[in-house]
């Protein structure tokens, strides 16, 4: 389960697959989160060096711009801390 905060709501998503843009199923519902882009910043706790990235799925999203939402996930362990941001579309439509 992956806990995501999306526009003021919190969801737990389950992802089955290993592709970069594999959709996530929101547990306890019939909704899915379809990812269109990822970004994040992580800090190596031992060195203080930070790493950031941004990646967007190709193609246009005609008609989806107003339906896209941003979700965040915080991560922390003994070696790394950081935050991942995912731009998603929820199906069926709605937030």
pTM of the entire predicted model: 0.78
- Please report the pLDDT score of residue 65 as a whole number: 62
The pLDDT tens digits of the residues spanning 58-95 come to 766 665 666 788 999 999 999 999 999 999 888 886 55
Residues 6 or more apart whose CB falls under 8 angstroms from that of 15 comprise 2, 22, 23, 24, 25
Partnered with residue 32 across adjacent β-strands are 25, 91
φ, ψ for residue 66, nearest 5 deg: -75, -15
Closest CA to 39 of 51, 52, 24, 49: 52
């Amino acid at each position: 389960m992956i806990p995501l905060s999306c526009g003021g709501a919190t969801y737990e998503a389950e992802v089955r697959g290993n592709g970069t843009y594999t959709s996530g199923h929101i547990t306890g519902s019939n909704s899915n989160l379809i990812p269109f882009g990822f970004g994040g910043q992580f800090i190596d706790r031992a060195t203080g060096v930070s790493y950031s990235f941004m990646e967007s799925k190709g193609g246009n999203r005609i008609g989806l711009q107003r339906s896209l939402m941003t979700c965040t996930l915080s991560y922390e362990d003994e070696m790394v801390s950081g935050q991942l941001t995912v731009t998603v579309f929820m199906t069926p439509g709605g937030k």
